[in-house]
Structure 1
């Protein structure tokens, strides 16, 4: 049996290449969803991020306040918390990133830009998880079931919008 990289495998990259993920109209729609998520759960930063083979790209955030992601365009995967959502195929939540051994050395955490994180999968209709809808704050925070439900509902809306960006027809199973 061979190990297949859950992020950089060829089939996953082909699925991602089948969507126009960097369309300005898509970004505007996703930004509105992020704004609503941020307001509803009262957190400074929400984002839509897609995990590529070596980096995690930012498709949208809720806005300029507390947004350190957009100017960067994303992060290398070794610093991406969203990578955990894709690899684990499940939500990833850390109430205090400074107390989590795998997260405490993250540059955004060390710089004080981010101390809490919750991300939920963006799952395409074919089952491929392309990234996450996530929330982050500069203080420790317990994410409630209601917070996670808001993020999950928004993730469904995000996926519905992204699927309209398909530029390559789906391959029949």
Structure 2
């Protein structure tokens, strides 16, 4: 059958198939714009979708989420027409855009955007950065923006890929850990994509290690790659935290890149004797320190996912001290999206309200036949 859709109509049809428009803020997209902001130090970062005659902000750092503006003479409406990135070092000197509202009303002087392309070749939007000052954008900057755009593409395309692969991680979830002064319990509810990974174990020195992450890849690769990441983390149980993540990254970054995949993880080491925990967050995100009194602090890092951290930039090692009764709660995006959770803030409220049964409570919230992997791991200092 001949496809009679022109480029604009096909783009709109694919975007509608993604089922993300109007879905509200999603951490999986917000993490990308947040990381892009940190990578380039720009005040404005957008993940935009171009559909019908509109440009809709699916995620943003520094502007209003969910806004839609006419596509006429918008930067992103031009970027999406080409497979190549578009860079405007000084908007005031570009006759195409010098008189657009972005320049005249909002004072934008710099723009760099990379198109977002789906597996069928349809370009659906852009990942872009903007500034009120002209900027020079190097070849290295352009390459990094391209890498981040590929991450955004895989998160968007993941919606279409669901239901096409059988889980290979079933049965690999470890048993609960109970050691003097510490307990670790977890929940992994897989769907057929199999991109979540979770592991917890006791090292030879008595420290407790927790690893939670997600691999997003096209086709049938997510489960196999997630299993590889988990195995690489387990193999480095007795390696110092920073060295363990660096070694894992050196081993797997090429495989992830070759498969068109993005892997993120949070790797934590806890000393039951002192109560001190160290952690490295390679682009993962959702983690909380929940104190015994119910107060909650997010564990945050600006490090990028595996393979996207710039060469020579060491991973950030965070630290937190747990008093008795304190917990560290680490989840994946599927848990945050559950009805009854309500994102990271909602998870914090749930954790405070369920000091002893958070995992079981979340288990009851997971609908039968969920289309999302759901992973929750809770480490408690006793």
Short-chain TM bin: 0.7 to 0.9
Name which structure has the greater RCO, CA cutoff 8 Å, separation 6+: 1
| 2:159 matched residue in structure 1 | 165
Post-superposition offset of 1:41: 1.3
Matched position secondary structure for 1:39: helix
What do residues 111-145 of structure 1 show as CA deviations (whole Å, max 9, x unaligned)? 24311000001011111110100000000111111
Q: How many residues in Structure 1 have an aligned counterpart in Structure 2?
A: 159
RMSD: 2.3
| 2:81 matched residue in structure 1 | 87
Post-superposition offset of 1:168: 9.7
What pairs with 1:63-102 in structure 2 (closer than 5 Å)?
Answer: 64=62, 67=63, 70=64, 73-102=67-96
Post-superposition offset of 1:39: 0.9
Structure-2-length-normalised TM-score: 0.39
| 2:7 matched residue in structure 1 | 6
What pairs with 1:1-173 in structure 2 (closer than 5 Å)?
Answer: 6-7=7-8, 9=9, 11-22=10-21, 23-24=23-24, 27-62=26-61, 64=62, 67=63, 70=64, 73-166=67-160
Post-superposition offset of 1:167: 8.9
Tell me, in whole angstroms, the C-alpha distance in 2 between the residues paired with 1:150 and 1:109.
25
Structure-1-length-normalised TM-score: 0.82
Q: Cα 1:136–1:53, aligned 2, differ >3 Å: closer, same or farther? A: same
Tell me, in whole angstroms, the C-alpha distance in 1 between the residues paired with 2:65 and 2:116.
22
Tell me, in whole angstroms, the C-alpha distance in 1 between the residues paired with 2:162 and 2:12.
13
Q: Cα 1:103–1:32, aligned 2, differ >3 Å: closer, same or farther? A: same
Post-superposition offset of 1:80: 1.5
Matched position secondary structure for 1:88: coil
Higher helix share: 1
With 48-57 and 112-121 compared, the bigger mean Cα shift is at: 112-121
Post-superposition offset of 1:72: 7.2
Q: Are 2:56 and 2:66, in contact at CA under 8 Å, matched by a contact in 1? A: no
Structure 1: gaps (5+ residues):
none
Tell me, in whole angstroms, the C-alpha distance in 1 between the residues paired with 2:11 and 2:126.
15
Post-superposition offset of 1:61: 0.8
Tell me, in whole angstroms, the C-alpha distance in 2 between the residues paired with 1:30 and 1:113.
26
Q: Are 1:41 and 1:150, in contact at CA under 8 Å, matched by a contact in 2? A: no
Post-superposition offset of 1:16: 1.8
Post-superposition offset of 1:108: 1.7
Matched position secondary structure for 1:143: coil
Structure 2: gaps (5+ residues):
164-382
Tell me, in whole angstroms, the C-alpha distance in 2 between the residues paired with 1:101 and 1:16.
30
Larger radius of gyration: 2
